[in-house]
A and B are shown apart, each in its own frame.
Chain A
């Protein structure tokens, strides 16, 4: 089966002549968590955001393959781009929930790319969407919180809602941009456990940005190490040695 995501020659320059991503090649397979590690400013977040075009790549090809066929995201615009984005779910570091809306409404935001506007406004979502939303809420362990306002939840709970929202899209790919960086150690583990379990159950590959190397090694099937916009390590967690970490992050003392 062909790779779910195929990136070729991805480049991004915020300032001309200073590329943040240098000609990246990366292929993500059909399952498991791929963790991208690297120091701040090395382009991890840029890479993720190029995939769903929240950031405009300067050059390269981003090929997404799924149930609906294969397309080059880098070439899409307007409506085509929007439809493609429905196939990619994203979980954010700051959760990015709409705080004044209820948990259920936030989860259903995942379907906004599919339902007509009047349904969204009158909150007359299709029955199966609501059923799936409830099922997802159960799965993330928040069954009774459907009508609570999002800002009444704790950080870990909010992130779980974020995961439910992303899965609501039935995506071909899940992106997670530092999903645990705003959470305490124990909640981080809970959230990553949940993410792994649910993604596996739905058969969705996950690409996750993370700067906690220990967590990355624990949950990821594959680790990609970046340094100054290029990939310098790509392999299973067991293969990640101190030597590699030194090259990825630089410096000695922190090891």
Chain B
């Protein structure tokens, strides 16, 4: 075999990967440190397995005896989800447009973007607690909390979608002398309309999941029933509720999947 051979110096077959090795070691060191901080020894883990087994046993078979209560809670959760999604979408439309840096001046888009970021950063349960304190127990607080969460998500995605549009189309409409609203409707919205529907569907899905939880802090829906069941150690009722929630979410995923496929 002929060919150019480098002089007989030691050739390195592999590039050194010190960065990755150090990171790996750091990660392992951190894991050990954090585990000890949180008192997560192996012994605890094993006791937990035993407890977990006992817990599972108490959850089965699921007990649907109080199905009226269950149904009532689920319906309320669905209502919360629907209202929150619609409200969130309605608010996200103008907010998203105002947050788009290619449409709005910086002194508008900046604060609006910050507001949307804050909406997103606070967990919806925390927001629900605040609304419960402000608006009293019940579904109103839940709807309000989820509207905030929806805005944080949908408005952000909407703003990003608007920022990705082709400005040339907008320019073309503007050059015809159309008014601001007309430019929006004809130049901007057609480019983002289909994605907006996608966001809305996703948010409805997400809100359905979340609405089942806000009740834990008193904001209405099945969450309250669930929390109460936990407190009373009615674990078989708990599993009934969980099964219903999972079924609802699966159903919602199926339906939205179908709708999305039909829209393409």
Contact = CB atoms under 8 A, between A and B. Distances in A.
Contacts of B1: 135-136, 138-139, 198, 201
B6 interface: yes
A146 interface: yes
A105 interface: yes
Interface string A204-240: 0000000000000000000000000000000000000
Interface in A160-218: 198, 201
Nearest to B4: A143
A139 B6 CA distance: 12
B11 A146 contact: yes
Contact of A104 (B2, B4, B5, B14): B14
Nearest to A202: B1
B20 interface: no
A122 B241 CA distance: 49
What interface size band does chain A fall in? Answer: 20 to 34
B15 interface: yes
A105 B3 CA distance: 21
Interface string A126-163: 00001001111011110110110000000000000000
Given A139-B3, A143-B4, A146-B13, 13 more contacts: A102-B15, A105-B14, A130-B13, A133-B13, A134-B11, A138-B4, A138-B5, A139-B2, A143-B3, A146-B11, A147-B12, A147-B13, A198-B1
A146 to B, nearest CB: 6
Contact of B3 (A102, A125, A133, A141): A141
Interface of A: 102, 104-105, 108, 123, 125, 130, 133-136, 138-141, 143-144, 146-147, 198, 201
Interface in B1-43: 1-6, 11-15
14 contacts: A102-B15, A104-B13, A104-B14, A105-B14, A125-B13, A130-B13, A133-B13, A134-B11, A135-B5, A139-B1, A139-B2, A141-B4, A143-B6, A146-B12
A65 to B, nearest CB: 25
> By CB atoms of chain A within 10 A, which of B2, B12, B15 has the most?
B15
Contacts of B11: 134, 146
B5 A147 contact: no
Contacts of B3: 138-141, 143
Nearest to B1: A139
Main secondary structure of the interface of A (DSSP, over half): helix
Contacts of A139: 1-3
Nearest to B11: A134
Contacts of B5: 135, 138, 143
A102 B3 CA distance: 21
Contacts of A133: 13
Closest CB pairs A-B (n = 8):
A138-B3, A147-B15, A139-B1, A104-B13, A139-B3, A130-B13, A138-B5, A123-B14
A147 B1 CA distance: 22
A28 to B, nearest CB: 23
Nearest to A201: B1
Contacts of A147: 12-15
Contacts of B15: 102, 147
A141 B13 CA distance: 16
Contacts of A146: 11-13
Nearest to A146: B13
A146 B14 CA distance: 8
Contact of A102 (B2, B6, B14): B14
A146 B15 CA distance: 9
A108 B14 CA distance: 11
Contact of B13 (A134, A136, A143, A198): A134
B47 to A, nearest CB: 34
A122 to B, nearest CB: 10
Nearest to B2: A139
Contacts of A135: 1, 5
A203 to B, nearest CB: 12
B6 to A, nearest CB: 6
Contacts of B6: 143-144
A130 B12 CA distance: 10
A102 B5 CA distance: 19
A201 B3 CA distance: 13
B34 to A, nearest CB: 26
B108 to A, nearest CB: 44
A139 B11 CA distance: 16
A32 to B, nearest CB: 18
A167 to B, nearest CB: 10
Nearest to A125: B13
A159 to B, nearest CB: 16
A134 B2 CA distance: 12
Contacts of A141: 3-4
